[in-house]
Amino acid sequence: MSITIKSKTDLIKMREAGRVAARALQLAGQSLEPGMTTLDVDKIVHDYIVGQGAYPSFLNYGGFPGSACVSVNDEVIHGIPSRHRRLKTGDIVSIDVGAKLNGFHGDTCATFPVGRISTEAQALLDVTKAALFEGIAKAVAGTRLEEVCRAVEQYCASRGYGIVREYCGHGIGRDLHESPEVPNYVQPGARDMHLRLQPGMCICIEPMINAKGDAVRRCRDGWTVRTRNGSLSAHFEHAIAITPDGPVILTDPS
Question: Rounded to whole angstroms, how far apart are CA atoms 27 and 48?
Answer: 8
Are residues 252 and 22 in contact, defined by beta-carbon separation less than 8 angstroms?
A: yes
| HSE value, Cβ hemisphere, 13 Å, CA-based, for 172 | 34
The strand pairing partners of 113, in sequence order, are 92
Q: What is the pLDDT of residue 1?
A: 56
Give the DSSP letter of residue 171: E
CB burial readout 214-236, b (16+ within 10 A) else e: bebeeeeeebbbbbeeebbbbbb
Q: Domains in the chain, start-ordered, CATH in brackets?
A: 8-246 (3.90.230.10)
What does pLDDT average to over the chain? 97
Q: What is the pLDDT of residue 43?
A: 98
**Stretch 37-66: mean pLDDT:** 98
Whether the predicted pLDDT of 107 surpasses 60 = yes
Are residues 46 and 72 in contact, defined by beta-carbon separation less than 8 angstroms?
A: no
List the one residue out of 210, 205, 110, 234 whose CA is nearest residue 160: 210
Instruction: Render pLDDT for 205-232 as a digit per residue (tens, 0 to 9).
Output: 999 999 999 999 999 999 999 999 999 9
What percent of the chain lies above the pLDDT cut of 70? 100
Q: What is the pLDDT of residue 68?
A: 98
CA distances from 172 to 3, 14, 209, 251 (A): 9, 9, 21, 12
Neighbours of 85 (CB within 10 A): 17
Q: What is the pLDDT of residue 191?
A: 81
CA distances from 72 to 23, 106, 139 (A): 20, 22, 29
Instruction: Render pLDDT for 174-200 as a digit per residue (tens, 0 to 9).
Output: 999 999 999 999 988 888 899 999 999
Q: What is the pLDDT of residue 46?
A: 98
CA distances from 69 to 29, 105, 131 (A): 13, 16, 21
**Stretch 137-141: mean pLDDT:** 98
Instruction: Render pLDDT for 6-34 as a digit per residue (tens, 0 to 9).
Output: 999 999 999 999 999 999 999 999 999 99
Instruction: Render pLDDT for 87-100 as a digit per residue (tens, 0 to 9).
Output: 999 999 999 999 99
Residue 22: burial class (beta carbons within 10 Å; 0-12, 13-18, 19+) = buried
Give the DSSP letter of residue 166: S
Q: What is the pLDDT of residue 40?
A: 98
CB burial readout 197-213, b (16+ within 10 A) else e: beebbbbbbbbbbbbbe
